[in-house]
């Protein structure tokens, strides 16, 4: 009897252990991954639109002529009366070098002139005596010619000494830097006590007189501007309107910004302060050569960063999925960016919520979008009419977009 009870208890223990083991396996098994939600997206159809070149360009008022002044000799700067913003007259003193060495050199050169003058006077008197002796046939003609050559040599030495003395005297004058024209000092690039070299720029002087508005334009706008074209500008601080004429256009693009510098000659702009900001309104430009320019443009909300480039989500109607497509960016046109390559007209691109999608992800099309884009009836019937499953991401600023390859 006791053996039967012992056997029964052993069986019970085995059953309990098996139940515990199965329960543990069930508890430790991985739960199925939650299914990714089917997101609803808004689409836009890629198409070529007209480029609008009309707009405002921020310009800066500059003097038409600006001199970069420096000493013609090197030395230690001992005085600098000029200050930034100071209005100076023509010939006004701007800076002074230590001229002690130049003065000593000038004195030495003057002493050489005195010595050369003495040698020339002695040679002249000697030639005069020998000339009298030759007239009395006491000396030969060859001897007189030697005295004449000695006189000419002494005169040449005297002229050389005088020229050297004048050059050294000029060096003393070069130690004083004066304003070449009346104007305004716009920059100071040396301080008292500094040793400067010959030709080093110390003072920048904006000449009084005509003023220019200087601004940069893109290559597309550059093609429709021409010298002599009339433009209108507005002073940002006062609202004053001034007229101008395109005076100069850069022959090549800036290597960094890839824009072209334009100088607008301002009519009656002499009273405008240097450095003032103007808004130059360009006339309505049709496009290069007078023909309307067309390009693919997308809003910044459709663009996203991918590595070192920029990409968009292209919608595949057959599989109802989105795929990443790298694009190259062109200039900004208003609130849109020109796409130079990577897309073809007729493709459908996701215009909102681009930062919550992944390659190959299945999506639903917003119902109003499906009908507007002319998608197949099956897709339009299956499209959602409610709010988007994911909020739209904030638009990417145009300045933050990085082209996929340098332009």
Question: Which pLDDT tens digit goes with each residue over 190-205?
Answer: 999 999 999 999 999 9
Q: Look at residues 155, 168, 82 and name the one whose alpha carbon lies nearest to residue 117.
A: 155
CATH class of 100-174: mainly alpha
Q: Look at residues 113, 224, 105 and name the one whose alpha carbon lies nearest to residue 173.
A: 105
- Could you tell me the pLDDT band of residue 144, with boundaries at 50, 70 and 90? confident
Instruction: Return all residues near 12 (Cβ < 8 A) that are at least 6 apart.
Output: none
- The whole-number average pLDDT for the span 14-35 is 54
Strand pairing category for 304-306 and 294-299: unpaired
Q: Residue 289's pLDDT is what?
A: 44
Query: Can you give 83-148 as a three-state secondary structure string?
Result: CCCCEECCCCEEEEECCHHHHHHHHHHHHHHHHHHHHHHHHHHHHHHHHHHHHCCCCCHHHHHHHH
Domain borders along the chain are: 41-50+293-400, 56-62+209-287, 65-95+178-205, 100-174
Residue 377 bridge partners (DSSP): none
Task: Count other Cβ atoms within 10 Å, centred on residue 4.
Answer: 8
Question: Could you give the C-alpha distances from 27 to 17, 21, 23, 31, in angstroms and in order?
Answer: 15, 10, 6, 9
- In the numeric block, the tokens 């070098």 are attached to 97
Q: What is the DSSP string of 185-219?
A: EEEE---TT-EE-TT---EEEEESS-EEEEEEE-H
Asked if 370 contacts 40 with a C-beta cutoff of 8 angstroms, the reply is: no
> Quick one: CATH architecture of 41-50+293-400?
Beta Barrel (2.40)
- Could you tell me the pLDDT band of residue 390, with boundaries at 50, 70 and 90? very low
- Could you tell me the pLDDT band of residue 293, with boundaries at 50, 70 and 90? low
Q: How far apart are CA 371 and CA 381, in angstroms?
A: 9
Q: How far apart are CA 114 and CA 121, in angstroms?
A: 11
Length of the chain: 407
pLDDT above 70 for 14 = no
Asked if 286 contacts 322 with a C-beta cutoff of 8 angstroms, the reply is: no
- In the numeric block, the tokens 């119902």 are attached to 367
- Could you tell me the pLDDT band of residue 79, with boundaries at 50, 70 and 90? very high
Q: Residue 52's pLDDT is what?
A: 55
The CATH number for 65-95+178-205, chosen from 2.40.50.100, 3.20.20.220, 3.20.20.150, 1.10.540.10, is 2.40.50.100
Q: Residue 275's pLDDT is what?
A: 87
User: Terminal CA-to-CA distance of the chain, rounded, Å?
Assistant: 97
The CATH number for 56-62+209-287, chosen from 1.10.1060.10, 3.40.50.720, 2.40.30.170, 2.160.20.10, is 2.40.30.170
Q: Residue 337's pLDDT is what?
A: 82
pLDDT above 80 for 37 = no
Instruction: Return all residues near 195 (Cβ < 8 A) that are at least 6 apart.
Output: 74, 75, 76, 77
- Could you tell me the pLDDT band of residue 402, with boundaries at 50, 70 and 90? very low
Q: How far apart are CA 211 and CA 125, in angstroms?
A: 65
């Amino acid at each position: 009897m006791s053996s039967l009870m012992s056997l029964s208890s052993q069986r019970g223990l085995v059953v309990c252990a098996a139940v515990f083991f199965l329960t543990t396996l069930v508890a430790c098994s991985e739960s199925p991954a939650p299914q990714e939600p089917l997101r609803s997206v808004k689409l836009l159809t890629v198409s070529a639109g007209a480029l609008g070149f009309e707009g405002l360009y921020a310009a800066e008022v500059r003097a038409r002529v600006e001199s970069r002044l420096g000493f013609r000799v090197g030395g230690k700067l001992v005085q600098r009366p000029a200050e930034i913003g100071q209005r100076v007259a023509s010939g006004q003193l701007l800076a002074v070098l230590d001229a002690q060495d130049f003065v000593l050199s000038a004195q030495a050169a003057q002493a050489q002139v005195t010595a050369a003058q003495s040698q020339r006077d002695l040679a002249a008197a000697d030639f005069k005596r020998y000339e009298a002796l030759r007239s009395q046939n006491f000396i030969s003609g060859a001897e007189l010619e030697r005295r004449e050559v000695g006189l000419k040599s002494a005169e040449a030495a005297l002229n050389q000494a005088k020229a050297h003395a004048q050059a050294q005297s000029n060096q003393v004058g070069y130690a004083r830097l004066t304003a070449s024209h009346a104007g305004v000092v716009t920059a100071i690039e040396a301080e008292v006590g500094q040793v400067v070299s010959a030709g080093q720029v110390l003072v920048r002087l904006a000449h009084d007189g005509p003023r220019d508005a200087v601004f940069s334009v893109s290559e597309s706008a550059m093609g429709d501007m021409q010298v002599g074209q009339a433009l209108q500008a507005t002073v940002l601080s006062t609202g004053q309107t001034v007229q101008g004429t395109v005076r100069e256009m850069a022959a090549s693009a800036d290597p960094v910004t890839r824009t072209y510098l334009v100088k607008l000659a301002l009519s009656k702009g002499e009273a405008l302060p240097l450095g003032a900001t103007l808004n130059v309104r360009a006339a309505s430009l049709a496009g290069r050569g007078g023909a309307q320019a067309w390009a693919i443009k997308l809003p910044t909300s459709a663009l996203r960063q991918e590595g070192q480039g920029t990409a968009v989500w292209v919608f595949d109607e057959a599989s109802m999925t989105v795929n990443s497509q790298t694009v190259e960016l062109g200039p900004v046109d208003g609130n849109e960016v020109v796409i130079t390559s990577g897309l073809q007209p007729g493709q459908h691109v996701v215009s909102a919520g681009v930062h919550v999608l992944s390659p190959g992800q299945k999506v639903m099309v917003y119902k109003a979008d499906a009908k507007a884009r002319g998608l197949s009836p099956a897709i339009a019937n299956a499209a959602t009419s409610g709010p988007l499953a994911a909020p739209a991401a904030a638009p990417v600023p145009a300045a933050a977009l990085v082209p996929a390859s340098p332009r």
